Amino acid sequence: MTDWNAAHDTVNTALAGSDVMMPGGDFFGPQLLKAVKKKQVPQSRLNDMATRVLASWIKLDQNQTGPNQ
């Protein structure tokens, strides 16, 4: 995860190992998708980013829909 407003380049930030860019910004999301389509960032890197984010989300039971599930 980047520090707030510390990253200013989609490709370099993704390739350097950041999975999440804070506070969201314009560099990931649509810009990351464009970089993957242009083969500037490998699809495998995007998959790796998503896997780590989702693994943490699931590990913390954030995938539950209600308080009793």
Q: Provide long-range contacts, Cβ within 8 A and 24+ apart, for 38-43.
A: 40/11, 41/10, 41/11, 41/14, 41/15
- 51 vs 57: CA distance, rounded Å: 10
**Active-site residue, 19 included:** no
Residues forming the active site:
3
